[in-house]
Amino acid sequence: MTETNVIDAKNLVREFNGKRVINRVSFGIKEGEIFGFLGPNGAGKTTTVRLLSGVLAPTEGSAWVMGYDVRSEPLEVRKVIGVLTETSSLYERLSAKENLAFFGHLYGLDGEMLNNRINELLQFFGLQEKSMDKVGTFSTGMKKRLSLARALFHDPPVLFLDEPTSGLDPEGARLIRNHINELSKEEKRTIFLCTHNLEEAKELCSRVAIIDNGKIIAIGSPEDLERDLWQKTEVEVNLDEANNEMLKFIRELEIVMNMRIDKEKIFIELGSQNDIPVLVEEIVHKGGRIFSVNQVSHSLEEIYFRIREEKK
Ligand X SMILES: Nc1ncnc2c1ncn2[C@@H]1O[C@H](COP(=O)(O)OP(=O)(O)OP(=O)(O)O)[C@@H](O)[C@H]1O
Residues forming the site for ligand X (CB under 6 A): 16, 21, 39, 41-47, 86
Q: Which does 41 bind (CB under 5 to 8 A by kind): Mg ion, ligand X, none?
A: ligand X
Q: Which does 60 bind (CB under 5 to 8 A by kind): Mg ion, ligand X, none?
A: none
Q: Which does 43 bind (CB under 5 to 8 A by kind): Mg ion, ligand X, none?
A: ligand X
Q: Is the distance from CB of 147 to CB of 89 less than 8 angstroms?
A: yes
Nearer to Mg ion, 48 or 184 (CB): 48
Q: Which does 28 bind (CB under 5 to 8 A by kind): ligand X, Mg ion, none?
A: none
CB of residue 86 to Mg ion, shortest distance in Å = 5
User: Which uninterrupted H or E stretch holds 106?
Assistant: helix 96-106
Query: In Å, how far are 149, 161, 204, 219 from 126, measured between CA atoms?
Result: 10, 19, 21, 35
CB of residue 232 to Mg ion, shortest distance in Å = 35
CB of residue 96 to ligand X, shortest distance in Å = 26
What distance in Å separates the CA atoms of residue 235 and residue 295, rounded to the nearest whole number? 4
Q: Which does 36 bind (CB under 5 to 8 A by kind): ligand X, Mg ion, none?
A: none
First CA to last CA distance, the chain = 33
Q: Which does 87 bind (CB under 5 to 8 A by kind): Mg ion, ligand X, none?
A: none
Q: Is the distance from CB of 176 to CB of 152 less than 8 angstroms?
A: no
- What's the distance, CA 193 to chain centroid? 5
Q: Is the distance from CB of 163 to CB of 85 less than 8 angstroms?
A: no
Phi/psi for 124 (5° steps) reads: -55, -40
Other Cβ atoms closer than 10 A to 77: 23
Nearer to Mg ion, 190 or 195 (CB): 195
CB of residue 154 to ligand X, shortest distance in Å = 25
Nearer to Mg ion, 45 or 150 (CB): 45
CB of residue 55 to Mg ion, shortest distance in Å = 13
Interior/surface letters 115-128, b for 16+ CB within 10 angstroms, e for the rest: eebbeebbebbebe
CB of residue 124 to ligand X, shortest distance in Å = 27
Nearer to Mg ion, 5 or 195 (CB): 195
Q: Which does 39 bind (CB under 5 to 8 A by kind): ligand X, Mg ion, none?
A: ligand X
CB of residue 53 to ligand X, shortest distance in Å = 13
Q: How many residues does the chain have?
A: 312
Nearer to ligand X, 36 or 39 (CB): 39
Which residues of this protein are in contact with Mg ion, per CB under 5 A? Answer: 45-46, 86
CB of residue 57 to ligand X, shortest distance in Å = 12
- What's the distance, CA 132 to chain centroid? 33
Nearer to ligand X, 208 or 279 (CB): 208
Q: Which does 97 bind (CB under 5 to 8 A by kind): Mg ion, ligand X, none?
A: none
Nearer to ligand X, 39 or 104 (CB): 39
Query: In Å, how far are 14, 281, 294 from 285, measured between CA atoms?
Result: 62, 6, 19
Phi/psi for 85 (5° steps) reads: -80, 165
Other Cβ atoms closer than 10 A to 72: 10
Nearer to Mg ion, 45 or 144 (CB): 45
